Structure formats: C-alpha cells, structure tokens
Amino acid sequence: MSESLADEPCESPSEEDDPLTEDEYAPLLDRLDDEVWSVVDGQRLEGTYPFDDFRDALEFTYEVGELAEDVWHHPDVHLSWGEVGVELWTHEIDGLHRTDFVMAARMDRLHRGYAPSEE
C-alpha cells in the first residue's frame, strides 16, 4: 500500500472525464488494502473494514463522514456491529474516478488506528 495515493488531492471530475477502465483502475486498486477493497461490476469500489466492537465502528464512520465533508466526496457507508461497509463511485460520471481511490486510501489510513485485535 502506498501512502502517496492518500496524499493526492480529491479532485472532482470534469465534464470531459470518462469512468476509469479496468486497465486504468487496476494499478490504483493495487495501492489499496487488498483485504478491504474490490471493484464491483467495473463501476463501484466496495470495501468492508473489521472492528472489535460497535463503538470503534461508529467512531470510524464519523471520521469517514468528516473526511467526506472536507473533500466533498461522499461514500455510501453501512454501519453494523464489528464492521463498516463502504461503497464509492463518482456519480457525475456514473463510474470510477481517481478520486474514489484517493478517498479509499485515506480511509485505509484512518482505519489503521482501529486495527482489530488478534485472537
């Protein structure tokens, strides 16, 4: 996983942008936590983060919400006991944009502070 992807700016797509193709998004996906993220139907980035308890999952969800507001790129977030599911795609282009992968990398960085205990 590369820290540099998380440090890139979250840029909105222009009207000329097309969704990323598999050849374009595959190298970006390789830079994310491979135990969390996958591309579904070539159009959505989906991930599930594990947690030891509901409180940590809730706190993480709040932090993701703050991040989304800061960069104005809002994922679908699904909170349940022991996990948080996330779906990302860029609505303006009805598919994946580099910004989706930057957001995912930033969420990976946030999640490192919540790593579940080893049992």
Rounded distance between C-alpha atoms, residue 81 and residue 69, angstroms: 24
Q: What is the pLDDT along the chain (119 residues), one digit of tens a residue?
A: 445 899 999 998 887 899 999 999 999 999 999 999 999 999 999 999 999 999 999 999 999 999 999 999 999 999 999 999 999 999 999 999 999 999 999 999 999 988 666 65
Residue 64, φ and ψ in degrees, nearest 5: -65, -40
Alpha helices in 20-94 (DSSP H): 22-29, 54-71
Residue type, 114: Y
**The whole model's pTM is what?**
0.91
DSSP state of 75: -
Domain ranges of the chain: 22-81
